[in-house]
Structure formats: C-alpha cells, structure tokens
Structure 1
Amino acid sequence: MARTRGSADSHYKSLDGKKVLITGGSAGIGKAAAIAFSNNGAIVTITGRRQERLDAVVSQLKQGHSVVADLLKVSDCARTIEEAVAKMGGLDILVNSGGVWTDAMLSEPLGEKAFLDGLTMHVITVARLIEEAIPHLSKNKNGAVVNLSSLSAIQVNPDSAAYNVSKAAQDHLTKTLARKYTRLGVRINSVNPGFVDTEVFDVLVEATGRTKAELHDWAKSENELHEICTAEEIAGPILFLASDAASFISGVHIPIAGAAQVQLEIEDPSIYFADKK
C-alpha cells in the first residue's frame, strides 16, 4: 500500500469565514496555503510582485483578493496590511510566506548584500507586518500568525550563510513576539520545512548547474522518507497552527522534513554528487 500523502483539506471548521492574508501567495507554499484556506471557507488575500501571477491564483479561490507588493521594501508593509483589511473587512490570520533567495545570497552568501537581503525579507519585513497587523488580529482575542521559516534555521548548509542566519533570526523573532502578543490573544508560530518541491529548484538548477532530476535525488537523500515534500504537505500544518485546533500553541517551530532534522547538518550537495561519479 502506498504511503498517504498529506492534504490541507481536513475540514478545519474554525477557519470558515476567517480573513487571511498570505504574503508570497502567488507561488509555492504560499499558493498552496491560499488554496487550502479557501477550500476550508476562509476569505483570502495574497501578495506578490506580479499582478498576472496573483490573478492566476485568485481565480482558484472561492473568495480571493490580491495586493501587489514588493516586501523587500519595508515601506510596502503598512500599505499591504491596510489594503488587505480594506478588501476583506478585517484580518484574523497572517501567514508570512514571502521569502527571498537573491542573486547576492547565492553568489556571495557571506557578503553584506546577502545578509541585508535575507534579514530585510525574513526578519524586518516579518516584524513590520506583524506589528501593523496586531491591532486587527487582537480585536477578537483569537488571532494567529504563522511564519514560514526553514530547516536551515535549525541546521546549516555551509554555502547558505546569509539565508541560514536570517531564518534563525526569524525563529527567534517568532518566539519573542509570541511572548509579547499571546497575552493579547494572538498566537504566533512557525513551520520549518526542509526541501519542498517548489520553484526553488529552478533557482538551484541555475545556481548549481545540475539537472532538476539530480537535485530531486539529492533532496530525497536528505530525509528518511526518501521523497520530496510537496507544498500541500506544508499547507496542512500552516492551517493547523492557524485554526482553533491549535488554540493553546504559541511560540513553537515545527520542523517538516521527514526526520531530516535529526541529522547534525545538511550535507554539501557536492559530497552527494561526488559519490555518483
């Protein structure tokens, strides 16, 4: 019998009618989360930089809206919250799914620009969005924030220093703000995926010169299920943390990596490929 793969459509009745903002919702995990929230009755607004990509996702939502925003610009944060609240008539759940892996982070992972890009997107922007959202999330004493972090916050790939550090800082921000805002009725948690079958593999193909099939084999070797996690398998835990099923959970990070998190570190891809020569 084949292993059952996860789905986010698990009848989270408490999400019906909730107003959800998802950053980075035009692709990957953000897109999967948007569709899953919508399938469970939520009203969803997604953000992204390209209107046409946002429109393609909104067309798949039962009640969907979009806000064009470049969240590498911290100045876009307040406007994003304001427009989302105006479109939906409120805000109950914030999912910080937006992320970056810029050219600088790939080519000079110890360079100043790499650190500035990573920390701006994964820490400063996330902090600003949460701060702007708190007055709305706390109104009914039942708000929720879910930050999309990474297994790289827990383990390290030596060639991704800026990304590792920014995600570790984001996890500490999650815990800090959970202590600050849970008392207002706003729970703040994060999910920490390992390798997920999203557009990130297209970036890795260009950066490493390897084929997608080779990179998929490498990713499978990094976890004990020897499979690649799907975006939908991350959307499920996001919905759980945002729902009333997680009503007493705040300030936690959930690794979603097929037991890869029990390893001491993520191996450099070159080690894996060297064995295949």
Structure 2
Amino acid sequence: MVVTKEDIMIVVGVDGSVQARAAMAWAANDAFRMHQPLKLVYAVDRQPYQIARFPDADRPDRLRRTGQKALNEAVALVHERQPSVEVTTALEEGPPARILREQGRTAVEVVIGSRGLGAVTGALLGSVGDHVAGQAEAPVVVVHGGQRPAHGQIVVGVDDSPGCAPALAYAFQQAALRSSTLRAVHAWRRPVQAFGTELPHEAGEDRVAREDMVTACLQPFKRHYPDVLVVEDVRFADAVEALTRASQEAELLVVGSHGRGSVSSALLGSVSRGVRHHTPCPVAVVR
C-alpha cells in the first residue's frame, strides 16, 4: 500500500457519547501539538436493524442522517477548541471496530472514548476499544470522560521485550510535545520460592538487574530527546496496580500492547487491558 502525506492524520471515533466528545477534545489538542489533521469517523452498523422487529424501511436513511448529524456536531466541537486544526469526516458502513482499524492503518494515532452507546452504531465503545487497541497498526488512545487537571507528567510502562520500544518512542514524543516529565515504571512480582526463602542479596541483585534493564531501554530515547526529564521508577508490585497508582497524577499512560521479556514478569498485553479499565487518565496502547 502506498501511503501519501494526505493519508497521515489522527483518526477519532465518533458515536455521539460524552466519552466520544472527550476523545475528540483530546485529539484536537494533540493534533494542534503535532501539526496533524484530524479525521472524524462514524461507523454505521446496520446489523441491529436487520432483524424483523425493525420493519421501518426508512430506518437505514435515518441511520445515516443521524450519523452525519453527529459528525457535524463533532466538527463544530473541534473548531471551537482548536480553530486552526484541519478536519475531515468519514461516514462508513460496518462494525465500528473494523472501521476504526481500517481507518487507522496509516494514522498517526487512533483516539476513542472509553465507553458510550451511540444512537446509530448500537455498539459500546468500551468493547470496541478492546478490539481496536492491540490490533490497530497505529497507537490507540482510550480517553475517559470528564476533565482532569494538567499534572505535567506522562507515565510509560517498561519491560525488556521488543514490543516496549514503540511504546517508549511514543511516550517520549508525547512528553516532548507537552514539555512534561516522563515517569518510566517497571514493576514485577518474584515467583514463589519452591524450596526455602530468598536470601536478601539475591533480591538485591534482582533489583539491580531490573534497574540496569530500565536504564538500558531508556538510553537511546534519552539521547534523541535530551530535553525530556525522565524519572526511573522500579517497583516490587503488581504491574497493573503500579501503573494505575502512577497514573493518578498523569496526563497520559502509555503501555505496549504485548510483550514478555526475559527479565520482566509482567505481560504487557494483559497489563494494557487491565489499566484501560482502572486508570483515570487517557491510556495509549502502542504496538
């Protein structure tokens, strides 16, 4: 597939919900920072209306009209928040998750609300998020409703798997764009010892090895982003719990979509799903 400059943009899922409006607001601000255009996408899913209890022959046209109305309102919201951002719209036929994955093939990122039942799609974006995050080729940002104070900090989960590098690249970019501190969190639980108890020096050596791993993972990105202040945060804790706590004072949490490293005991694939449901700030899942 040939990708042109016109294909590169930020894609936002629209469904008419409060959470989708929050996603649009977040995406508009990110588009302004990144100097990227926005594409607002509404998926018309006819499946719920193709059964006998919906005999109204005019319903398909009404579905599209309702979808177009939601897109028009979304455009007005973006222009109100960031007038200089270029906006296009797409009214597509099909399941929301598939449409967003297709639209996100060449996107800078895909932004969706954490949940919300749209009048047209009949699909909960919370469940759509599970099908889009980790499968879309672009980073997927899941935004919760409601406003949060600006804490000036980005949190990123770190392990030693190959899948961690794209998450770090995205996190450093976001921190640089926002002039925010980047907190790199690595958490682990040691396996239960089959025989005897663990000696203190063994636990100490394990922690030093993990701290060295985190430093090594961050070093290439620190050289590329010398102005980003980085805090290395290595914790003996459950990964979801540690990232959720760290994100209480964060503007964005970034995690990889999968990856089990030889040092890390945390599977970021399961972690990414866990934090999406427990973290109050927006969560970016990066492949």
Q: Shorter-chain TM-score category?
A: 0.3 to 0.5
Q: TM-score, normalised by structure 2?
A: 0.35
Higher helix share: 1
Structure with greater strand share of residues: 2
* Superposition TM-score, scaled by structure 1 size: 0.36
- Choose 1 or 2 for highest CA Rg: 2
